[in-house]
Chains A and B, each alone.
Chain A
Amino acid sequence: MDVLDIIKPENQVFCKTKLMTDTPLSYCPGCGHGTAHNLTMEVIDEMGIAEDTIGVAPVGCSVLAYDFMNIDMTQAAHGRAPAVATAISRCWPEKYVFTYQGDGDLAAIGTAETIHACNRGENIVIIFVNNGIYGMTGGQMAPTTLEGMKSSTSPYGREIATMGSPLKITELIANLPGVYYVTRQAVHTHKHARKAKKAIRKAFENIKLKKGISFVEIVSNCNSGWKMTPNDANVWMEENMFPYFQLGDIKVDGKLK
């Protein structure tokens, strides 16, 4: 079959969703953000809700998410995305409102906004990309940096005695009554990405059902910040991140697993 035949629309079995723009991604090669963006946009596209969806971008590597996600988006101050999303959702209860945040944004500077938006049971989706480091500013220690893990602000490794333990904010918020669905996923393999997409779909379906907060954590890599090749970063993530941040559902239909 000729190449031109293969790319005819009727022969296509898979193509980039039109909800991703053609702007080249600003992420490092091998980074999970691109896949996480893509899965989110695919879900919104497949649900046919693009015209009724408002996204809130964070501060961090994904600050420019609005350059790539082809929907209405508001860029929030560092950590405040859940507060921004709260107001949008309260003023436009029929819209699909989501935040897309990293671990520094959501679990450090924005801890209060995260916990209180969750506690109020705002009818929004929070997509939380956890790569255990501040990527945008060049690899500093995050609240989710693992014990012993080196970063530019923990150059001898994270020491629990002086720096505290890596924060499992996802388990923390799962205990709040306003939170309906909590899951932890990954996107570094096709298998994981397919599962993550199902989770994101479920989260957005919950908005339609007005169920309150749906929280999807995606444990991801940061090969630049971790100073590894993309493949090594994924192997390191499986061997070190997953045992601490265990994948799977934490709360489904308002019930803890």
Chain B
Amino acid sequence: MSELKLMKGNEALAEAAIRCGADAYFGYPITPQTEVIEYLMTEQPEKRTGMVVLQAESELAAINMVYGAASTGKRVMTSSSSPGISLKLEGISYLAGAELPAVIVNVVRGGPGLGTIQPSQADYFQSVKGGGHGDYKLYVLAPSSVQEMSDFVEDAFDIAFKYRAPVLILSDGLIGQMMEKVYLKEQKERMSNEELIEKYGSWATTGKKGRERNIITSLDLQSEKMEARVHRLMKKYEQMEKEDLRYEKILCDDAEYLIVAYGSSARISQKAVELAREKGIKVGLLRPITLFPFPKKQLFELANQVKGILSVELNMGQMVEDVRLSVEFKVPVEHFGRTGGIIHTPEEILEALEQKIIK
């Protein structure tokens, strides 16, 4: 039985982590995601499920605690917001290089620099183009509701362990802070150490009982070995594109114009689509749920049908580049966005669509 509650996005995410049987959370306070660690500290999941929760001395320490727990096969999560994620990127690159499963949450705020504590989607490039050093990608899930903040935690762990790779939940200050009703899943039991060793004993550093030793590292001083490692990573990303792409099409069947938007922008754009249709303009919405993998093929196909595409983002034009690459210049693609913590209104989006695309 699921449980219906009214919760903030950040709290729903924290509760979902406990309920899906996560083993550990390591974090550091930063607005607008601090409710995650506050909620966990208050809930005392150590008593509920045995889940370890620890406030680290910095984002650097937190992500490296994640690395430590992940290297032993534990289901481990951390969360932060933009400046904190920048600090975590070194560790995220190590997680990718050492092929470790982990869930990282970015409740994005405006930047660059210390920026603002208001919502933003200006970390799109950082999230989908690598971010940290080296040849790697992150599987990126973009929730657009409190319900998805909750549901995506378990999904993220499943993907992380399917591929032995770090997964990013890319939220923002709007989804993190707003309250909505949310159906919480039933409590799942945490995996026992015995089961963990049986499942992940081929690679996890749990102590070499009854087997050869395991080593977790991202270092290969021989170039041939390092190249082979990177090729192995690329194979995973290819498989993600084939098997784990997620997107949502809203009113696309008869659409003459298309809006592409994710996360909170998609929520607001949905209203803009309604306003447009009230005026007799047939607009559809493509919402990428995964930002990597990106719905390239779907956009390419929609470009045969629509006359123009507007990429709506809370930034100065980041995802629009991927939309353009996907449609291969078959139709005009424009960007509309607000930044600095300002949220666009449905009316503004419709106006931008009319001015930039419909003309």
CB distance from A88 to the nearest CB of B (A): 5
Nearest B residue to A55, CB-CB: B205
| Residues of chain A with a CB closer than 8 A to B218's CB | 75
A198 contacts which chain B residues (CB < 8 A)?
A: none
Q: Is B226 part of the binding interface, using a Cβ–Cβ cutoff of 8 Å?
A: no
Number of A-B residue pairs, CB cutoff 8 Å, is: 121
Task: Please judge, given known A-B contacts A51-B209, A72-B208, A92-B206, whether A116 and B61 are in contact too, CB under 8 Å.
Answer: yes
Q: B67 touches which one: A66, A72, A84, A116 (CB < 8 A)? A: A84
Binary contact track A54-89/B, C-beta < 8 Å → 1, others 0:
101100000110100011111111001001111110
| Complexed CA–CA distance, A142 and B61 (Å) | 22
Q: What's the minimum C-beta distance from A206 to chain B, rounded to whole angstroms?
A: 18
B66 CB within 8 Å of chain A = yes
CB-CB under 8 A from A76, the residues of chain B are: 64, 67-68
Chain B neighbourhood of A54, CB < 8 A: 72, 205-207
* Interface positions of B from 47 to 106, Cβ below 8 Å from A: 52, 54, 56-58, 60-62, 64-69, 71-72, 74, 76, 90-91, 94, 98
Query: Is A52 an interface position by the 8 A CB rule?
Result: yes
Contact call B65/A87, Cβ cutoff below 8 A: yes
Does B213 reach chain A (CB closer than 8 Å)?
Answer: yes
Are the CB atoms of B213 and A88 closer together than 8 Å?
no
Name the contact of B217 in the complex, choosing from A66, A71, A80, A87 (C-beta under 8 A): A66
Could you tell me the distance between the alpha carbons of A54 and B209 in the complex, rounded to whole angstroms?
11
Asked if A85 and B206 make an inter-chain contact with CB atoms under 8 angstroms apart, the answer reads no
Give the docked Cα–Cα distance between A70 and B61 (Å): 27
- Cβ 8 A contact of B206, one of A50, A70, A72: A72
Q: Which of A51, A83, A91 contacts B24 (CB 8 A)?
A: A91
User: CB of A108 within 8 A of chain B?
Assistant: no
- The complex places the Cα of A47 from the Cα of B209 at a distance, in Å, of 15
State the CA gap A50–B23 with chains docked (Å).
Answer: 24
A90 CB–B CB distance under 8 Å? yes
* Given A73-B215, A90-B24, A90-B54: A84 in contact with B71 (beta carbons within 8 A): yes
| Distance between A91 CB and nearest chain B CB, rounded to angstroms | 5
Interface positions of A from 97 to 114, Cβ below 8 Å from B: 112-113
Give Cα A45–Cα B168 distance, bound, in whole angstroms: 40
Q: How distant is A126 from chain B, measured CB to nearest CB, in Å?
A: 14
Known: A66-B215, A71-B208, A74-B216. A88 touches B71 (CB 8 A): yes
Chain B residues with CB under 8 Å of A83's CB are: 56, 60-62, 64-65, 68
| Bound: A76/B71 CA distance, A | 10
> Is A53 at the interface (CB under 8 A from chain B)?
yes
Chain B residue numbers with a CB within 8 Å of A188 are none
Q: Which of A51, A56, A77 neighbours the largest number of chain B CB atoms within 10 Å of its CB?
A: A77
With contacts A77-B90, A112-B57 known, is A91 near B23, CB below 8 A?
yes
Which residue, of A70, A74, A87, has the highest number of chain B Cβ atoms within 10 A? A87
From B65, B209, B214, B217, contact of A86 by CB (8 A):
B65
**Which B residues touch A66, using CB under 8 A?**
215, 217
In the assembled complex, the Cα of A68 lies from the Cα of B208 at a distance in Å of 15
Asked if B358 CB lies within 8 Å of chain A CBs, one says: no
B52 near A73 (CB under 8 angstroms)? no
Shortest distance in angstroms between B141's beta carbon and chain A's nearest beta carbon?
Answer: 23
- A245–B210 Cα distance when bound, in Å, is 42
Contact A63 B219, beta carbon cutoff 8 Å: yes
The answer to whether the Cβ of A95 comes within 8 Å of any Cβ in the partner chain is yes
Contact (Cβ within 8 A) B64 A80: yes
Residue of B nearest to A88 (CB): B68
Residue interface bits B6-50, CB-to-A below 8 A is 1, else 0 = 000000000000000001101000000000000000000000000
Contact of A72 among B24, B57, B60, B205 (CB under 8 A): B205
**Chain A residues whose C-beta falls within 8 Å of the C-beta of B58 in the assembled complex:** 112
Instruction: Give 18 A-B contacts (CB < 8 Å), ordered by A residue.
Output: A50-B208, A51-B208, A72-B208, A74-B71, A74-B205, A75-B218, A76-B64, A76-B68, A80-B60, A80-B67, A87-B67, A88-B71, A88-B205, A90-B69, A91-B68, A92-B72, A92-B206, A116-B61
What 5 pairs across the A-B complex have the smallest Cβ distances? A87-B68, A84-B68, A80-B64, A87-B65, A75-B217
Known contacts A75-B218, A87-B76; 10 additional CB pairs below 8 A are: A54-B205, A72-B207, A76-B64, A77-B67, A80-B67, A87-B54, A91-B24, A91-B68, A92-B207, A112-B58
